[in-house]
Structure 1
């Protein structure tokens, strides 16, 4: 199975919005108020204008997406490094492991090789039943938390990279 990875543009706002609505629906049912839960076209367009967003495609269809909020963007992460956000896989794709493939590609090809960042951060909800443990299995470590007024505590995690590889 061959996947194609590419950076999304503002012309991809509709495709981004569609995958976010489907993928984040379960979070909404859990009462987790990630911004992507209620993403509309205006919000996704603004997101694409202010962040690096990537698509993983299979046979011309977007099956997963992930974004990087940069330190100089209007909504930077907690550290002066890229911050992962709006990470979603299409639940209708019927394929397992898509998120892991996309995250590995982002870490290896974008963060380590292109941006040469020493580490990356992300934030997730303390109330989510499995995300913290999933990220820990992938080498991320908790380094802080903050109440952002969204009805949950945001748990900040980071993964350090050995740039000598």
Structure 2
């Protein structure tokens, strides 16, 4: 079996729309207001062109995707890189594809390419397994909030990917990961 990590291209948009829509079924069932849950083809195309949308292919088929946001999703809260739209093909879940893609983005892109000390993402307590899954992967909640839209408590999670750099950036009591409101 061959695996390839790469940036998504516009010709991948239809496949990504199906993959993300199917993977986000639980999000829709929980009535969480996440943009990716009901994403259309145009939004997928915009995501590919405006962000860094990565895919993992297994034997030439896209089996997982994740996006490094280049927009203002959480710029009002954190200066750290923010990942979103993480999804694994429902027929391929449980095979480690999602974990391998997330590991690759954390190390090769966030740490090595961007030179960032940590990465952030958001999730909701209302989802039955996402928060514990990210916590097992080393993410910690650094900010809790209620968006007031019925989603309940949400969390901005952070994972340190370069401890030395993180400690340097935060020596002397400076906390640059979360901006003061």
TM-score normalized with structure 2 length: 0.82
Q: C-alpha displacement at 1:113, in angstroms?
A: 1.1
> How many angstroms apart in 2 are the aligned matches of 1:117 and 1:19?
29
Aligned 8 A contact 1:56 1:65 in 2: yes
Aligned 8 A contact 1:3 1:58 in 2: yes
Aligned 8 A contact 2:107 2:161 in 1: no
Deviations along 1:132-151, whole A, 9 cap, x unmatched?
11111111100112233442
Structure 2 equivalent of residue 47 of structure 1: 47
Q: C-alpha displacement at 1:53, in angstroms?
A: 0.4
The alignment partner of 2:55 has SS state of strand
> How many angstroms apart in 2 are the aligned matches of 1:95 and 1:61?
16
The alignment partner of 1:122 has SS state of strand
Structure 1 equivalent of residue 32 of structure 2: 32
Aligned 8 A contact 2:142 2:156 in 1: yes
Q: Cα RMSD between the aligned structures?
A: 1.9
Aligned 8 A contact 2:65 2:86 in 1: yes
> How many angstroms apart in 1 are the aligned matches of 2:147 and 2:117?
26
User: Which stretch has the larger CA shift, 45-54 or 60-69?
Assistant: 45-54
TM-score normalized with structure 1 length: 0.90
Deviations along 1:2-41, whole A, 9 cap, x unmatched?
3110001233221211110110012211222221110001
Runs of 4+ in 1 over 6 A off after TM superposition: none
Aligned 8 A contact 1:116 1:163 in 2: no
Unaligned stretches of 5+ residues in structure 2: 166-181
The alignment partner of 1:92 has SS state of helix
How many aligned residue pairs are there? 163
> How many angstroms apart in 1 are the aligned matches of 2:148 and 2:44?
21
User: Which stretch has the larger CA shift, 48-57 or 30-39?
Assistant: 30-39
Unaligned stretches of 5+ residues in structure 1: none
